[in-house]
Every structure is written in structure tokens, then in C-alpha cells.
Chain A
Amino acid sequence: MREPVVVIAGCGAISAVGCGIEPLRVALQKNSSGLRPSEKFNSPRFQSGIVGSAPKNAAADNPAWFLAMEALRQACDASQKVLEKIPAGRTGLVLSTTKANIEALERISDNRSCSETARRHLQADRLAADLAAAHGAHGPVQAVSVACVSGLIAIQQGTRMIQRGEADAVLVVGVDCLSEFVVAGFTALKALDPFGCRPFDAARCGLSPGEAGAALVLVRGGDALIAGSEFRIQIRGFGGSNDANHLTGPSRDGSGLAQAVRVALNSAKLSPGEIDYVHAHGTGTGYNDAMESLALKTVFGGTCPPVSGSKGMLGHTLGAAGVIETICCVLAMQENFLPGTPRLSVAAEGTPKNLLHEPRSGVRLKNVLKLNTGFGGVNGALILSHE
């Protein structure tokens, strides 16, 4: 039996470039960066004070809840006409996060005040359950955490819930917050660029941490549920793999990521030549960007489609990255433009020839490939298609 098509019915985002989809669209079209020096992280304890900070109450004890709720509110508002046709029991939720509300651990360790809810949301599955309850999503609920590939895998899981007939709609929400915990961790690994990340740049030397809440509403397409709607972007295919090489570094040859892309192409029934644009993981670390360039060369040979990445705009938002970067792809597909690569000056040797420095308008994108990789050697490749 043919599986149902799954389409994106609404998006929401709060990130370093502002609260809402519109500021994200504007930032993508202007190639602007939301990375800024932060007072909080301007300390010898941290390798860099340049971060992608979202607009939120800095004194709140549960920022993960706030960012996730705001993103979900926007996405549900945007897809209200579809969601109101679906019974609560047929709506599911998948949360993507790496650290949930890690703020609570910092507070408890420092004997600072911490509410019961903030403490409860240290646990990603409790956070997911509460987000689902707050949105009347009484269908299946999952908390996915697969390093920086979490977002793409959460989208895959939401898609499969619909394809398996367990739900008619799934709210996919990715969230991770800037925290001393995470910035101290990347400092310990010496993985931060003191000048702010410069993905694919010859002078790149690390990432910039960011925070975001990002949400997608996935719905079963191809029937009356979305009849007459404008939703035309579908989740077309997914591929995953593991480098089996190193816990914190990618394989040097890109073979693991290339394997994930091939699986995704196969599941989407597409050939490499049918991909119109690649939205890269592009962290700005030396090894990641070099590996990603090699993987693209392996799959596409000398005819790589245009490539760009958005971490120079948003920072590395960890568990939210796959979701918010998929939203970047959706906006590009809806508005017919190719996003650029903010903070890229001189492309490093070996990067794809078609690496986009600046956005390019008037380009219709039918099939888009989104990549993410993560600690533990995990790779993910998602393909979106415009009907």
C-alpha cells in the first residue's frame, strides 16, 4: 500500500534573528547575522562571547519551555484551519532537544531558585509530554535526542507517525537554549571561534553557540484534509548513518554523510541531479566543513548543486538546528530564492564550487537536501520537495 504524503502546514521560530517567521525570512534574504557579543559569556571562562541569543527573559528559570511554546504557538496559528479539522487524539508531538531545560541544573547546583516545572523539564520526555498537553495533542508523543541530528530525526519520526496511521498531524518542535553548561563544554573542547563562526571560510576556526525554538506542523497530505490549501512542500525522503569513527569528530573522508545522502535520495526516489539546493550543516569547525565538502563531492561529483548554510546567522542551535534550518529551506522554496552563507568571506579550499556567499533570487527550488551531523558520528539527510 502506498504511504500517505506528508506536508508542512505551518512553521514557527524564535531565534537570534528575532521572534517569528518573518524576521527569519528577512534575515535569509538579506544574508544578515544574528550573532552578537554577549555580556553573560564575555568571561575568561569561555573561549568566545559571541553567540546567537534569542529574545527572551534572561532571568527565567525555564527558557526551553518558553522558546518551545512560542515556536509552537506560531506554527499552530499558521496551520489553524487544518489543525481544527483534526481530533486531539489524532495529533502527535515530537520534541527534538539535546539538553532540554539544562538551566535548571545550573540553578540547583548554584542554590538559586528553580521552580518545580523548570526542574521537571530537565527531562526531555517530561518537557515533551507537557508541550503536547498544552497544545491538546493527545496522540503519540516522543522526545528524540540524537545530538545535532535530532531535528532531522524528529521530522522523520513525525512523518512516520503519520505514514503509519498513528496520527493525522504531528507537531515537531526543536529547542535548545544558550547555557553556561553548553558554552563551557564547547570551550573545554576548544571548539568555539573567538570571532564568531565563519562556515566554509578559509579562516574558520570553530562554531558559535546559538539558541532557538523552532516548530513545524506536519499533516497528512493528498486528501481532503488540506484540500484548497497552499501547502505544497512535502517531506520526501530521509537517510541516516553513523561514521563509527570518533565520538566528537566527523570521519575525515565524508563517507558516512555520503551514505546518509544516498539513502535519502533512494528513499525519495530521486537522482543526485534532481537536487536543486543543499542546505549544509556548516558548523564552521575545520573538520566538519571539510568533511561535508568531501561528502558532497562524493555524491554529486563535479556537478554539486548550490550549497549554503545558516549557522553564521543563527549560531549552532543544537537540538533546534535541524528544525529551524529545515524552516530556512521551506522559506527558500516558498519565496523562490537561494539563501547565502552569512559571515563567509573567502571560501576555503575544497569547498563546493557552487557555495553561495550571497542570496540569489528568482530561483525555483523543487527538491532541497538538508544535512546535519553530530557527536557520536551520527549523520542525517532530509529531502523536501515542492509539489
Chain B
Amino acid sequence: MNKIVIVAKSHVTEADLPLARLGTRFGRLDPASRLALLAVESLGVDFEKFSRDRIAICLAAKAGSLSTDFDFWQGRDAVGGPSPTLFAYTLPSAAIGEIAIRHRLTGPNLCFVGDDQQLLPEATDLIQRGDADSCVCVHGEIINAAMAEIIRAPPVARARAFFLTRMVGCPI
């Protein structure tokens, strides 16, 4: 069996967002997707070198999409109703869609709500089973101040990303 290794990793916080240059669409994303996308961009991986249908995306979202849920629900009494754009991000897995679209990654996806303990083992398993050759892993921790009060957890806004691949034949 080929060895599976982490060939790139990154860590970004809210403070890194204003420096990001990821196009006009980036500014329209919710904070969780922005952080996840920036973390993946910061990996510096050239996805052109891989078969995109063989790259999985695995996400662990610490508090799901609760911060975006809160923002969406705050707009419930707005004229015309709450934002349809924001509703699309009220899923813990929304960042997977954004990563897949930006890098045209069509492999399998997995998303957990909670901490990151399952992230790397599950990504490794996906590769070992042959479901994918590589995996983009993201652990997003986004809890805004309002939601922090509701779920009684400290506010946080950061994301870590990893790129796992088989050692043999790795084109990096």
C-alpha cells in the first residue's frame, strides 16, 4: 500500500481575509466559506497536476453553519424576506461547494459537524480505499459573537487546511 502523506498545510484567521485577492465572487461568500477557501488557496497546491475527479474534499465544521444561520435569520423581517444568497450558505458543507467550484474538483465529499479528530483519519481512509488519490481537508472554526453567546462557546474565526496524497507518483 502506498504511503499517504500530508504534503501541504495552512492556517488562516479572520485577520488574513482583507489581504486575500481571490476575485469579486470571494467577497460575496459567507465568512466560513471565505476562510475555508483562503486556507485552501494558502496550501499553494497546483491542482492542475492532478486528475480533478480523483481529489476528494473533506470538511469538519466546528459549529456547523450556525453563525451564518444567525445572520440569515436576522433578515427574516426584511422587506422581501431573508436573503436567498445567504440561505445557500446555511449548510455546514457550503464551503465544500465553493472549494469544488473554484478548483473544479469533482471527487467525493465528506463533511462533519464538530472538531477535527475525524478529519485526517477519514481522508486517509478515502484514499486507502481508492475513492480518491488525494484529499483537500479543511477544519473551519467560525463562531461569531452572537452565536457564541447562544451556544456558550468562545468566538473564533479561523481555518486550517491540509492536502493529503499518496507518496508514490505524487506530482508535487
Contacts and interface: CB of A to CB of B under 8 A. Distances in A.
Query: Which secondary structure dominates chain B's binding surface?
Result: mixed
A160 B125 contact: yes
Given A109-B73, A189-B87, A377-B100, A242 B106 contact: yes
A179 to B, nearest CB: 10
Interface in A119-169: 119-120, 122-125, 142-147, 149, 153, 157, 160, 164
B97 A188 contact: no
B22 interface: no
A245 B81 contact: no
Interface residues of A, number: 54
A259 interface: yes
Given A119-B151, A122-B66, A240-B131, A147 B91 contact: yes
B113 A145 contact: yes
A248 B81 CA distance: 18
Contacts of A100: 64, 113
A153 B101 contact: no
Contacts of A186: 87
Interface in A1-50: 45
Given A188-B81, A256-B106, A375 B97 contact: yes
Q: Give the interface size bracket for B toward A.
A: 35 or more
A247 B88 contact: yes
A306 interface: no
A160 B123 CA distance: 13
Contacts of B52: 244
Nearest to B53: A259
B147 to A, nearest CB: 9
A26 to B, nearest CB: 33
5 contacts: A109-B76, A180-B76, A181-B73, A242-B97, A242-B109
Given A123-B64, A124-B113, A376-B100, 19 more contacts: A45-B81, A100-B64, A105-B69, A123-B114, A124-B64, A145-B112, A180-B76, A184-B81, A184-B82, A185-B82, A240-B107, A240-B131, A245-B101, A246-B101, A247-B97, A247-B101, A248-B88, A256-B106, A376-B94
